[in-house]
């Protein structure tokens, strides 16, 4: 039935700032970038493993509620081999990263940071024990 996640779509408030964040700081390769004149909107497809992040701009999008947490997508988590090198890179760019925590169910290490619009992003250390279920 369902095989995998194909893409995650993100609407940003400042397209150039977010494109730089995802493509330069997080080093996700740009697959294609399209100006959609009829919508006054950019669309940038970024590669992440076998999936994609679609980064959209729209004129004056409303802010995303994060605190208190609202219904819908809570956060986006990236599986990584090691937290420390990525945390160091993020901090070089002045990005605040939360202290490393341990998942009480899997005993795996993880941490959170935010994209330029405040969307929570998680780094979850890779495990040989399979996919995370929480």
What's the CA gap between 126 and 110, in Å, rounded?
A: 10
Are 1-60 and 74-134 equal in CATH topology?
yes
pTM of the predicted structure, to 2 decimals: 0.86
Contacts of 64 (CB under 8 A, 6+ apart): 117, 118, 119
Q: Are 55 and 22 in contact (CB under 8 A)?
A: yes
**CATH class of segment(s) 74-134:** alpha beta
Instruction: For residue range 64-110, list pLDDT tens digits in order.
Output: 877 777 777 889 999 999 999 999 999 999 999 999 999 999 899 99
Parse the chain into domains and list their residue ranges.
1-60, 74-134
Q: Which fold has domain 1-60?
A: 2,3-Dihydroxybiphenyl 1,2-Dioxygenase; domain 1 (3.10.180)
């Amino acid at each position: 039935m369902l095989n995998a996640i194909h893409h995650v779509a993100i609407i940003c408030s400042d397209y150039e700032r977010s494109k730089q964040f995802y493509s330069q700081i997080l080093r996700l390769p740009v697959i294609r970038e399209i100006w959609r004149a009829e919508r006054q909107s950019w669309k940038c497809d970024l590669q992440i493993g076998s999936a994609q992040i679609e980064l959209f701009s729209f004129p004056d999008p409303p802010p995303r509620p994060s605190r208190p947490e609202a219904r819908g997508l809570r956060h986006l988590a990236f599986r990584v081999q090691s937290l420390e090198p990525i945390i160091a890179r993020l901090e070089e760019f002045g990005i605040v990263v939360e202290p490393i925590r341990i998942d009480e169910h899997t005993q795996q290490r993880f941490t959170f940071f935010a994209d330029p619009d405040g969307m929570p992003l998680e780094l979850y250390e890779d495990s040989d024990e399979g996919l995370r279920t929480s």
